[in-house]
Amino acid sequence: MIDFEGEAVHISASPGAGKTTLCLGIVSDTILNRGRVIWACRKMPDPDRFREILHDIDEQGLMRISILNFSSDFAGNLDLILRGTEDFGRDDVVVVDDWCENHGRARKDDISAAKKLSSIAHKTNLIITSSSYEDASGISDSGWMTRGGKQIESTYATFLLLKHPKKDGIRIISGEDVVILARMTKKGLEKIVS
């Protein structure tokens, strides 16, 4: 659904919009296409949702997924993530789910770690996710702002993932020059083809 094109990708989502679900779908596609995955996260995804989306993957495929729960110390675990990607290529993906806290400003050390991590995007696929927050200033067209500000926006191709305001189960994925509609299903987000 999202074309990486050698860019680091930041998915910023409104609460409950499905950023983890979107990334689990990408993980499933990667594994089914014989790729490898590093899934680094602040907290583990819901195990039922994890099983539901990844249920087509056999035991050998599951062996190609490395999971790192970094809790509240993304910056402190960055070297471990980077070492894990040393032999990664274009068929592989690194997902950092909730690279920063979902409240307040992103910490400087997390922003610095995210910027440093973006250096691997020239050789492998990279996605970081965060929770967006409501725009009280009125600057944003969507009503939502992304975490990390200009430093992350200048380093990552940023996509907003939002619940459709009028259609239950429909999500809007918007980036610089792209708007995608997707349906929430048991297998993850499915692109709606018009």
Q: Is 127 helix (H, G, I), strand (E, B) or coil?
A: strand
* 23 burial type by CB count under 10 A (0-12 exposed, 13-18 middle, 19+ buried): buried
| Tens digit of each residue's pLDDT (9 = 90 or more) over 51-94 | 999 999 999 999 999 999 999 999 999 999 999 999 999 999 99
Taking all residues of the chain, what is their mean pLDDT, rounded to a whole number? Answer: 91
Q: Please give the DSSP secondary-structure letter assigned to residue 53.
A: H
The proportion of the chain whose per-residue pLDDT surpasses 90, expressed as a percent, equals 74
Catalogue all structural domains in the chain, each as residue range(s) with its CATH number. Answer: 8-191 (3.40.50.300)
Rounded mean pLDDT, 121-147: 82
Q: Please give the DSSP secondary-structure letter assigned to residue 86.
A: T
Residue with tokens 């979107």: 22
The C-alpha R_g of the chain, in whole angstroms, comes to 16
Q: Helices (DSSP H) in 33-73: which residue ranges?
A: 47-54, 59-62
Q: Tell me: pLDDT of 118 over 80.
A: yes
The proportion of the chain whose per-residue pLDDT surpasses 70, expressed as a percent, equals 95
Check residue 136 and give its pLDDT: 64
CB atoms near residue 110 (< 10 Å):
24
pTM of the predicted model as reported, rounded to 2 decimal places = 0.92
Comparing 188 with 92, which gets the higher pLDDT? 92
Rounded mean pLDDT, 124-139: 84
Check residue 15 and give its pLDDT: 83
Among 14-23, 115-124, 127-136, 166-175, where is mean pLDDT lowest?
127-136
Contacts of 150 (CB under 8 A, 6+ apart): none
Contacts of 47 (CB under 8 A, 6+ apart): none
